[in-house]
Amino acid sequence: MIVSVGDYSEMEMNNLPTYKMDAALLGTALENGLLVPYDNIRISAGTDNDGYVTTQDLAKGIAGFKSLLGSEDTFVLYFSGHGRDRNLIFSNGQVELQSVIDFIDSLTAKNKLVILDCCYSGKFVSPDTKQITIDDCIEDFVGRGIAVFASSSADEPSRLGPQNSHSMFTGALSTAILQHKSERYGCYSLQDMYEDTMHLVKAWNKTYPDKAQQPIFRNSIRGTIFFKTGKYKKYNKMELSFETDKYNLFGVEPLSTGTVKRLSAFITVDETVQVSELPAITNDVADRIKYAEIYSSAMSEERFEGTPARVIWCYFGHDESDVINRRFFAYTIWAADDEMMDTFFRSNKDALISDGIYIFQNKSYALLKEIQKTTITKEEYIIGYRKLLSTVINSAEDFITDLQEILNGAKKIEEINEKYKRWFNEVRTEYLALSDYDMPPDELNEWSQRILNLAGCVLDMAIYFERRDQKNVPDVEAIKMAIKQYYQSIEKIKTIEEDLF
């Protein structure tokens, strides 16, 4: 819902000539940037687009959406107009800003975003967030809540952009959405939208210091909102597996981060298979897969399309559990030519070269398999890792909220020093406790590893916060990167839990 008010003659306030352009900019950004269907957008800019918008128009507009919203929808309310004394000003009256936010928060939609482009719009509070417990699934929390992005602080006017054709903040926000500089994996996150907008606002403030303004961002959303933009060509890892009389191929992954195409193959063989038989198996695997087009989820391997792999690693286990836990009694390397052999065939006391194949034997395989036997029940694992998950999320979200208040200019770094130490000490304690666990059951392997990775992102936040420069300022950019990784990790855990529980 786009609300853009221009006619303030009844309120004896200056009319706003920017209302048409503001509505057009935001509408274009939603439709072309976030791929919102045109039929899902409602613009309230007065009858015949004359800028006369009443408080009743606001109420009717929201009521119209209320009946349409589903539990998995995102609702966006945008307001451009005058603001004062904690109120949004309309053509015939005013509405308390906080009451609008609280009402929007009560709507059925999974998440809500309120965008305010008006003077003194930063004078609001964000609804409280609910703490996640060990009994909750992550789906019940991730991406749920409300976020408010205001154009200026509580005591600050909002400015018009160049030539006074539109509001500066709306211009920055719509440009950020359309350019998608921080887009990842076909999605554009709310956090990225905020940071891209702030980058443009800071450029404005530097150019026009006498017209500087400080946008305010607060939210009660655990994690963030990911908008599917569909503009990223994502290459999924190809599922390549087959069985032969001698071996089973469980999967193939790319290792092509360098200048040549490289692959890894994961294989199981019967315990009767001798090491001397591995070169023949390796050559057979290479013949079958070296032309396979395998793509990683993190980067495009398109430059190698249609070309054969020049190096293939084959990792050998005796059962599926070995593959899941990356526990191998041997690995071999197949190389396409002498150059690759010289590069990757390294001298090692536990390795040999046979029939042009490099073979490394893991002498610790039997001991490792014995050590990694699971003695804790599946239920005990779930409880332990859910405890870590709840501690991690609650600690991280509290820290991110306070960090945002520092960026909003509402808090000082010193105010959260002691608080954050307690949060991260809790994460460290739970993290270290889980390090004493046995290996998880195979079906929980990926889930538990993702949770440990999530905890690692949070511990990174602590490290970067402790790392201060001479002015006692933490490494904010590094913290932001850790936060983005944290958000992405949460989404991965959510996807795993959808299939697991």
Task: Give residue 146's pLDDT.
Answer: 96
All residues at 6 or more sequence positions from 237 whose CB lies less than 8 Å from its CB, including other chains:
253, 254, 294, 295, 296, 297
C-beta of residue 62 within 8 angstroms of C-beta of residue 77? yes
The alpha carbon of 225 is separated from its chain's Cα centroid by a whole number of angstroms, namely 8
pLDDT tens track for 435-462: 777 778 889 989 999 999 999 999 999 8
Tokens representing residue 332 in the block: 């071999």
pLDDT value at 14 more than 80: yes
pLDDT value at 236 more than 80: no
Domains in the chain, number: 3
Tokens representing residue 265 in the block: 């193959």
pLDDT value at 282 more than 90: yes
Domain membership flag for residue 235: no
Task: Give residue 368's pLDDT.
Answer: 87
SS3 359: strand
Task: Give residue 300's pLDDT.
Answer: 44
Residue whose C-alpha is closest to residue 488's, from 217, 257, 182, 194: 182
pLDDT value at 131 more than 70: yes
Q: Which amino acid is at 35?
A: L
- Per the prediction, the chain carries an average pLDDT of 90
Task: Give residue 405's pLDDT.
Answer: 94
Min mean pLDDT across 107-111, 296-300, 439-443 is at: 296-300
Q: Which range marks the domain in which residue 259 is found?
A: 242-371
Same domain, 41 and 117: yes
Same domain, 389 and 483: yes
- Based on DSSP, count helices (H) and strands (E) in the chain, helices before strands: 13, 18
For 5, 67, 74, 342, the CA distances from 227, given in Å and listed in that order, are 27, 22, 9, 47
Same domain, 211 and 307: no
Give the confidence band of 141 by pLDDT, cuts at 50, 70, 90: confident
DSSP letters, 370-431, are HHT---S-HHHHHHHHHHHHHHHHHHHHHHHHHHHHHHTTSS-HHHHHHHHHHHHHHHHHHH
pLDDT tens track for 383-419: 999 999 999 999 999 999 999 999 999 999 888 888 8
C-beta of residue 232 within 8 angstroms of C-beta of residue 160? no
Domain membership flag for residue 236: no
Same domain, 156 and 15: yes
All residues at 6 or more sequence positions from 371 whose CB lies less than 8 Å from its CB, including other chains:
none
C-beta of residue 228 within 8 angstroms of C-beta of residue 186? yes
Residue given tokens 């961002």 in the structure block: 217
Among 228, 254, 279, the domain-final residue is: 228
pLDDT tens track for 43-52: 999 999 999 9
Same domain, 74 and 169: yes
Instruction: Give the separation between CA 353 and CA 343, rounded to whole angstroms.
Output: 14
Same domain, 338 and 388: no
Same domain, 66 and 204: yes
Task: Give residue 303's pLDDT.
Answer: 62
Give the confidence band of 235 by pLDDT, cuts at 50, 70, 90: very low
User: What percentage of the chain exceeds 90 in pLDDT?
Assistant: 71
